[in-house]
Structure 1
Amino acid sequence: MAAGQALLDTGFAHRMKALACTAPLHDLDGRKSAVQAADFTVYQMSELALHAIDLVTLAMDFDAGASPERVVADLSTFAARQVPERPTGEYERVARWVLENLINVGSADRGFRAVYGLTGADGHYERRDFDFKLLEEVPGADGDIYLRASNEAVNVLVGALEIDIESAQIAADIRLETLIRRGRLSDAQAAAQAARYRTIQYGEMLRQRLEATSRDVRSVDWLTSMPDFIAEALEHIEARYKAENAILVNITDVRDTADTPLRKQQAAALVEIVRDCLRRHEQLQAGLQNAGRRFRAEQDRQTFAPQPARADIDLHAQLLQPVLALPVHDADGVLSTFFTREAGLTIPLALRLVDLFTALVTPPIERELLGGEIEEPELSDEPEPPAFPDECYDYLDGLLDLDPEAPRRLSGLLEEARELHPELPLLLVVRVLALAAQEIGPARRHGAESVLIAVDDGTVLEDDEFAGTDLLVARAVLVPPQELEEHSHMGGARADDPRLSLPSMRERGAA
Structure 2
Amino acid sequence: MNASREPTAVDFSDDGLARRAKALACTAPLQALDENKGSLRWVKADVYQLAEIALHTIDQVTISMDFDSGANQEKVVDQVKRFVALQAPERTTEEHRSVARHVLQRLINVGTVERSFNETIGAVDRSGVYRRFGFQFNLLVERAGRDGKIYLRASDEAINVLVGALDTDVESAQIAAEVKLDSLIKRGRLAEAKLAAEQARYRTVQYGEMLRQLLDATARDIRAVDWEREVPELLAHALAHIEERYDFEHRILSNISAARDKSDEPLHKQRAAELVTIVRDCIRRHMQLQKRLLTARSVFREEQDRQQFAELPLRAVLDLYGQVLNPVLDLSLRDALTVGEGFFSDAVGPEPPAVMDLSSLVTRLLRTAPERERLGEAIPELDLAETTEKPAFTLGDWAATDELLDFCDTPRQLSDLLAEAEHTARSTATLLLHRAFHALDPQVGERIARGDSRVLVGVGTGDRFDVPHFGGDDLLLCSVPITRPPDGTDPDSPLPEDTFE
Partner of 1:223: 228
Aligned to 1:360: none
Q: Could you say if the C-alpha distance between residues 230 and 38 of structure 1 is closer, same or farther in structure 2, counting changes exceeding 3 Å?
A: same
**Other-structure match for 1:421:** none
Tell me how far apart the structure 1 counterparts of residues 59 and 169 of structure 2 sit (CA, whole Å).
21
Structure 1 unaligned spans of 5+: 311-318, 332-457, 462-468, 506-511
- Name the structure 2 match of 1:362: none
Aligned length: 354
Match of 2:34 among 29, 32, 45: 29
Q: CA deviation digits over 1:215-257, x for unaligned, max 9?
A: 1110000111111111110001000001001001110222233
Alignment of 1:272-287 (within 5 A): 272-287=277-292
Is the partner of 1:503 in helix, strand or coil? helix
2:107 — aligned with what? 102
CA distance in 1, matches of 2:363, 2:32: 68
Contact 2:143 2:151 in 1 (8 A): yes
The CA deviation string for residues 36-59 of structure 1, in whole angstroms up to 9 with x for no partner, is: 112112100011000000000011
Q: Quick one: which of 465, 488, 503 aligns to 2:431?
A: 503
Asked if structure 1 preserves the Cα contact closer than 8 Å seen for 2:139 and 2:154, the reply is yes
Spell out the pairing of 1:106-125 with structure 2 (5 A cutoff).
106-125=111-130
Matching residue of 1:72: 77
**Mapped contact 1:459–1:470 kept (Cα < 8 A):** no
Are the structure 2 counterparts of residues 504 and 23 from structure 1 closer, same or farther at C-alpha, using a change threshold of 3 Å?
A: closer
The within-5 A match list for 1:184-199 is 184-199=189-204
2:66 alignment partner, SS class: coil
Instruction: Show the counterpart of 1:388.
Output: none
Unaligned runs of 5+ in 2: 1-7, 316-351, 365-384, 402-412, 434-501
* Contact 1:459 1:471 (8 Å CA) reproduced: no
What's the counterpart of residue 350 of structure 1? none
Counterparts of 1:82-161 in structure 2, within 5 Å, are 82-161=87-166
| TM-score, structure 1 normalization | 0.63
Displacement of 1:116 in angstroms is 1.3
| Whole-angstrom distance in 2 between the partners of 1:78 and 1:272 | 20
Q: Structure 1 residue 327: deviation in Å?
A: 6.8
Contact 2:181 2:197 in 1 (8 A): yes
Structure 1 SS opposite 2:431: coil
TM-score after normalising by structure 2: 0.65
* Deviation of the 1:142 alpha carbon: 3.1
8 Å CA contact 2:185–2:255 kept in 1: the answer is yes
Aligned equivalent of 1:169: 174
Distance of 2:249 and 2:208 partners within structure 1: 17
Residue identity matched to 1:502: T
Counterpart residue number, 2:47: 42
Would the aligned equivalents of 2:67 and 2:212 in 1 still touch at CA under 8 Å? Answer: yes
Residue identity opposite 1:265 in structure 2:
Q
Q: CA deviation at 1:4?
A: 9.4
**Aligned partners of 2:386 and 2:9: how far apart in 1?**
77
**C-alpha distance in 1, partners of 2:427/2:53?**
35
Q: Note if contact 2:26-2:161 (Cα within 8 Å) is conserved in structure 1.
A: yes
| C-alpha displacement of 1:143 | 2.9
Question: Which structure 2 residues correspond to residues 34-433 of structure 1 after superposition, within 5 A?
Answer: 34-307=39-312, 326=359
Cα RMSD over matched residues?
A: 3.4
State the distance in 2 between where 1:180 and 1:31 align: 41
Q: Per-residue displacement from partner, 1:423-442 (whole Å, max 9, x unpaired)? A: xxxxxxxxxxxxxxxxxxxx
Q: Secondary structure at the match of 1:142?
A: coil
Distance 2:297 2:108 in 1: 33
CA separation in 2, counterparts of 1:109 and 1:75? Answer: 25
Residues 397-439 of structure 1: per-residue CA shift (max 9 Å, x gap): xxxxxxxxxxxxxxxxxxxxxxxxxxxxxxxxxxxxxxxxxxx
One-letter identity of the residue aligned with 2:140: L
The equivalent residue for 1:14 is: 19
2:393 and 2:427 in contact (8 A); partners too: no
CA deviation after TM superposition for structure 1 residue 501, in Å: 2.4
In structure 1, what is the Cα distance between the partners aligned to 2:302 and 2:418? 72
- Give the drift of 1:499: 3.5
Instruction: Give identity over the alignment, percent.
Output: 50
- Is the 2:116–2:138 Cα contact (8 Å) retained in structure 1? yes
1:359-396: per-residue Cα shift (whole Å, max 9, x none)? xxxxxxxxxxxxxxxxxxxxxxxxxxxxxxxxxxxxxx
2: CA distance, partners of 1:173 / 1:36: 45
The structure with the largest alpha-carbon Rg is: 2
Separation of aligned partners in 1, 2:186 and 2:10: 40
Distance (Å, rounded) in 2 between the aligned partners of 1:200 and 1:179: 22
For residue 136 of structure 1, report the CA deviation from its aligned partner.
Answer: 0.4
- Three-state SS of the structure 2 residue aligned to 1:502 is helix
Larger relative CO (CA 8 A, sep 6+): 1 or 2? 1
Tell me, in whole angstroms, the C-alpha distance in 1 between the residues paired with 2:85 and 2:43: 15
User: Aligned pair in 2 of structure 1 residues 233, 261: CA closer, same or farther (>3 Å)?
Assistant: same
**Following the alignment from structure 1 to structure 2, what is the Cα–Cα distance between the partners of residues 5 and 251?**
49
Q: 1:228 is matched by which residue type in structure 2?
A: E
Matching residue's letter, 1:112: F
Question: Secondary structure of 2:153's match?
Answer: strand
User: Do the aligned partners of residues 499 and 328 (structure 1) sit closer, same or farther apart at CA in structure 2, a change above 3 Å counting?
Assistant: closer
CA contact (8 A) 1:62 1:204 kept: yes
Structure 1 position 504, deviation (Å): 9.8
